[in-house]
Amino acid sequence: MLWLSPWMRPLARVYCEALAGAGIEVMLVTSNQHPESDAARPYERVLDPRPKTPNTWRPFGRALAEVRRFAPDVVVTELVRDPRWLAFGRLAPRVQLIHDDRPHDAGEQRPGWERRLFDRWGERAAATVAFSNYVAGAIGGADVVPLTSDLDEALVPAFVDAEGRRDVVLIGRLNSYKNIEVTMAAWRAHVEGPAYRGDDLVLIGGGDTDVDLPPKVRWIKGAYSYADVLPVLSRAKASVVHYRRATQSGVQVLAMQVGVTPIVSTEGALPEFQPPGETPIGVDDVAGLTRAFDQLADPYVASRRGAAAQAHYRQNFAADVSAAALTGALDRAVVSRARSIR
């Protein structure tokens, strides 16, 4: 199997290594664009996906020759934007992975030429895979595979019991769709109410916001790595994923993986991923979000519900579970293409 993923390298690694563990020979063509990029692993080929940069062409040519020798039976594509990479996709039946049914905001809009080129390319894929029923329904005709976390399971911290629980986290760039205004209003109401236990709301990531941050909010600005995030996230009482617009969220599955309850809105596939009993909250429901903060302020409640979230993740979203479902989609694509050739 050849996997093409220039932007989501950690997630592609998790899938490739799970598939390799199941006996599939894998090669990943990727880039150093992701903040978690580091030294290439034996199955990785790292390229610079900027075709207008002259010194990127020779490494691309070498990689294409090597991939041809590798002779994949199936090609998986994920957010490919370099037109040169289309050549990799011609080497075998192709499975296209779709994470989002539409851009979250204007910052994610692609140029018109890029949409036309890669949308047509996507339509010619042997199969399409979505990571939620929500996205599958929006795009039509897709297999559904559960979305695993892009954190290697070997790096998951030990579960934190009630005595170690503190704070609530909001991870990621503070874009408009993150619903910051409603979150801050709910946090202010929580801090001023009787259920408050002295926690901070910790924002981790870049971006910008015009919303005034209330008391007991700390913002750790700028790019971050998992090494920075995990000590804060793993001991949190909750992770806020209460977005105004969403498909599914890697932050949501990451929180469950480390044993933290995600608080989500009713948008997109966020409700679909939640553990049993964890009710989504309307995007403008400040009172509902305040109640969620109040309930999870109790460290024993936070620990108990975090353990249930982790069990839900392991049963439904762990890498081996997701890779097994993906293997079925890959096999069907290969068989379907073989039949069409005959």
- 85 touches 52 (CB < 8 A): no
Average pLDDT over every residue of 303-324: 97
Mean pLDDT rounded to a whole number for the chain? 91
Average pLDDT over every residue of 324-334: 88
User: Which residue did the predictor score with more confidence, 270 or 104?
Assistant: 270
Sequence ranges of the domains in the chain: 2-148+319-341, 153-316
238 DSSP β-pair partners: 168
The domain 153-316 having CATH identifier 3.40.50.2000: the answer here is yes
Report the range of poorest mean pLDDT among 156-160, 223-227, 259-263: 223-227
207-254 per-position pLDDT tens digit: 878 888 999 999 998 888 888 899 999 999 999 999 998 888 899 999
- Percent of the chain at pLDDT above 90? 73
Fold for domain 2-148+319-341?
Answer: Rossmann fold (3.40.50)
CA–CA gap between residue 305 and residue 280 (Å, rounded): 15
Please, what's the largest Cα pairwise distance for the chain? 71
Residues in the chain, overall count: 342
Which of 153-167, 203-217, 324-338 has the highest mean predicted lDDT (pLDDT)? 153-167
Average pLDDT over every residue of 263-269: 96
Confidence of residue 48 (pLDDT cuts 50, 70, 90): very high
Per-residue model confidence (pLDDT) at position 116:
78
